[in-house]
Every structure is written in structure tokens, then in C-alpha cells.
Amino acid sequence: MSPPLMEVLPPVMVAPCYPSVILFLCPKGCGAGVEQEFRERVDQVRRQRPRRWEKVATCVPGKTMVDVVNHLLSYMDSSPYLLGVESQVLKLIEESKSDSADLQRCATGELRLLSQCSENRNVIADCGVVNLLVGLLHSSDPATQVNAVTVLLNLSIDDRNKISIANYANAIVSLIDVLIGSGIPEAKENSAATLSSLAKIEENRVQIGESGAIGPLVELLANGTPRGKEDAVTALYNLSKCRANMVRIAQSGAVAHLVGLIDHAAAGLVDKAVTILANLATTSEGRIAIGQDGVSALVDVVELGSSRGKENAAAALLQLCRSSSKYCRVVLQQGGVPSLVALSRCGTPRAKEKASSLLNYFQKQREAYAGNK
């Protein structure tokens, strides 16, 4: 016989969070008296979705899976019923409206846990939680603020929710306020990640740019944590697919930080930074911002970058060199021709095309110069 729940659990872990933990493991729920079915579901989660299981292990005390499951079963057996996801979410919404900071923190934490399950996200959104979460982005309690922004981030993974979140009054502006506020790094990181997720939908990109997100994202790129920089560059990458935002990014001072990433960041970030530069190079404002320092960095990417990086670097250089002979001189002085020749032979189809076009442009420029002598 298991000891009474209150004797084996620390106060913070008692009954209020257990329905959410159980629904996190088994979104369809599992009532009392179905021990074998519950154990089978939990074992399936543990084997097939280990990251989900790790999250549970941090919420429920116990040394082994058996310990954790027994704690949960003890709760299930002592409860007259377990709430379904919708009922549990509605209950948590009411608790999140409480004047008690502790209750708000706990309730938003449970919503955060539930929102990590893809099966729960639309249910949570349909319960009308977004407006509440947007308001809690301004919470003075750091944990509540982080919970609120993280729930929005999780909900935004679903494309339908990307549109509905962006359409809520003040949602985007409130996310930007988190970026520029004095909150903890995790809140800023998850705010940037949410804006990045929303910006995957074309219709949201203009709204996010017009709302003033680019400046704070550039600030996070310049001075954030490593994860913050990654979230910022990913958001800028998605936003740069909109021409109006290309101009905003070019005028924001972002280029110097993007060029800096080329020398010091992991390959994935370098590729995104180079893609942003390639997008900016299609505008006159972007070409001015990239300048000769940016051209030198792009030449290095053509030589040493990934396949994707080389492709986008060649595309950017083609735009830049066609716009001004001074950029052609930088490429030639940097010894970029051999790398372009190699790329024209061995790159991706698009990389071959861009490299060949640039080499042909150099050849025509030389012929024109020789003819004018």
C-alpha cells in the first residue's frame, strides 16, 4: 500500500499539478482503476518520447519510473475523477486570474506543461487562453511571465494558432515589450522564439515589422545569451523574407552583428546569417549596409562555408557586384575567384548558377575594360 500522498510529496507538488502531469503523459486522460492501461501508456511515452518523460521526472518525485508511476497512481486512486484536458484548462484559466501570485505561477506552470503536448495545443487555444496569457506577459513575477510567454510559444507551433495569436490585440506589441523589458533571459529568449514562430506565416511578417520588433531583436542578437542570439537571428531570418522588413533590418544596425556571426557562430547560425544578408542584398539599403566588410565575409563563406552557406553567399555577391564595381574589386582582391570557379563546378544547382553568373560578369567587365583602352 502506497503511503498517503501528502506524506510522500513536498508541498509544492501536491494535488493541484497532478491532473496536468497525467494529461501531459496521456492527453486523452486515464481514470482511476485502470492501472495496467496507465502503466502501458507511460511506458510507451518513456520509450518513444523520452524528452516528454524527462519533463515528467522533474515534476514528480521518485528515483525510478516505477516510483513516479506509483505516485501518479496513488493520486488517481485517491481522486473521485480526473478532469479532461478542456476542463483542466478552464480550471487553470480561472486560477491564473487570481490575485495570488503563487496561484498564478502554479496555474501558468501547469498550462505550460500541458501545452508541450501537441495533442493539447488546439484545445488550450480554443478555451480562450491567449488573451489571458498576453496580459500576463506584463506580470511582475518573473516565473509567471516566463510561463505565459512559453505557453504562447508552444501554442504558436500550430499554424492555425500563429494567425490567431497575431490577431489578438496587443499580442505582438506585448511580446516586444518582453524583449525590451527587464525580465530574465529566458523570457526574452522565448519571446524572440515566439515572434520567430509567428513570422513563419507571411501575413504576420509585415505586422511584426511594423510593430517595432526588429530593433529589440537586433539588441538581443548583439547582447543576448547564446540561445538568445540564436532565437534573434532565427526571427530576423523569417522576417527578412518580407521586403519591407529587409529595409528595416538594413537600417537597424543588424548587418555588423550578422557579419560577426559568420566568423564566430555554429554552422546553422552562419547559414541563417548569410541567408539574411542574401535577402538584404536585393535592396539598395541592404547593399549599402553590407558594404565592403560584408563582401569580405561572404567571400570567406564561398570558400569555407556549408553548401547552403556557399549558395547564398554567391547569390549575395552577385547582387552586390552587379550594383557596384567597388565590390568586384573586393572579391578579386580577396582571391575569391578560385572558390567561385570550384563552386560553379561542384556546388548545388543554384550555387553553380550564381557562381557562374558572377564569373561571367567579371569576364564581361574585363572585356569592356580592355576594349576601352
Cα dihedral sign, 33-34-35-41: negative
Same domain, 106 and 136: yes
CA atoms within 13 A on the CB side of 345: 6
Same domain, 136 and 161: yes
User: Of the candidates 239, 263, 285, which is a domain's last residue?
Assistant: 239
Task: Tell me if 197 is assigned to some domain.
Answer: yes
Same domain, 15 and 96: no
Q: All 3 cell numbers of residue 148?
A: 505565459
Same domain, 190 and 98: yes
Same domain, 70 and 97: no
Distance, in Å, from the CA atom of 296 to the CA atom of 48, rounded to the nearest integer, reads: 47
Q: Is 144 exposed, middle or buried (0-12, 13-18, 19+ CB in 10 A)?
A: buried
User: Of the candidates 54, 78, 102, which is a domain's last residue?
Assistant: 78
Same domain, 115 and 231: yes
Task: Tell me if 121 is assigned to some domain.
Answer: yes
Same domain, 92 and 208: yes
Nearest 5°: the CA angle 70, 87, 131 is: 120
Q: Is 91 exposed, middle or buried (0-12, 13-18, 19+ CB in 10 A)?
A: middle
- Look at residue 355 and tell me whether its pLDDT is greater than 50: yes
Q: Which residues contact 29 (CB under 8 A, 6 or more apart)?
A: 22, 23, 82, 83, 84, 85
pLDDT tens by residue, 316-338: 999 999 999 999 999 999 999 99
pLDDT tens by residue, 261-312: 998 877 789 999 999 999 999 999 999 999 999 999 999 999 999 999 999 9
Hey, which of 10-19, 41-50, 73-82, 273-282 has the most confident mean pLDDT? 273-282
Task: Tell me if 299 is assigned to some domain.
Answer: no
User: What separation in angstroms does the CA of 76 have from each of 19, 35, 83, 177, 242?
Assistant: 9, 9, 11, 41, 51
Domains: count for the chain: 2
Average pLDDT, rounded, for the chain: 86
Distance, in Å, from the CA atom of 3 to the CA atom of 8, rounded to the nearest integer, reads: 7
Same domain, 128 and 26: no
pLDDT tens by residue, 141-168: 999 999 999 999 999 999 999 999 999 8
Average pLDDT, stretch 255-260? Answer: 95
Cell 505561477 belongs to residue: 105
Residue 4 confidence class, pLDDT cut points 50, 70, 90 = very low
Task: Tell me if 350 is assigned to some domain.
Answer: no
Domain span holding position 170: 88-239
Task: Tell me if 263 is assigned to some domain.
Answer: no
Cell 504558436 belongs to residue: 156
Same domain, 94 and 172: yes
Same domain, 95 and 62: no
Same domain, 203 and 162: yes
Task: Tell me if 316 is assigned to some domain.
Answer: no
Which CATH number goes with the domain that contains 127?
1.25.10.10
> Which of 64-71's residues contact partners 24+ apart within 8 Å by CB, and which partners?
69/38, 69/39, 69/42, 70/2, 71/2, 71/5, 71/8, 71/9
pLDDT tens by residue, 65-92: 677 677 666 655 554 444 577 888 999 9
User: Of the candidates 219, 239, 259, which is a domain's last residue?
Assistant: 239
Q: Assess contact for 309 and 267: CB atoms under 8 A.
A: yes
Same domain, 45 and 129: no
Task: Tell me if 346 is assigned to some domain.
Answer: no
Task: Tell me if 190 is assigned to some domain.
Answer: yes
